[in-house]
Structure 1
């Protein structure tokens, strides 16, 4: 039983890390898009 819990926790942590990475990537994309929009508006 304790081993199962450990495996479960490890899996959860791995998923959490992956999710965090995804969130970071999405945030970066949003920020970049906003920045590009601002720049294009400034140029126009």
Structure 2
């Protein structure tokens, strides 16, 4: 289930962070990695 959610949500989360927060791509990648690491722990 996690892989399905990851593939589905990754694009939306990335676009939201880049567009709304005007973040650099490197920052977005770090935030996404942190988010998914926390998600997988739960």
TM-score between both structures, scaled by the size of structure 1: 0.43
Q: Which is bigger in relative contact order (C-alpha 8 A, separation at least 6)? A: 2
Higher helix content, 1 or 2: 1
Task: Give 1 or 2 for the bigger CA radius of gyration.
Answer: 1
TM-score between both structures, scaled by the size of structure 2: 0.45
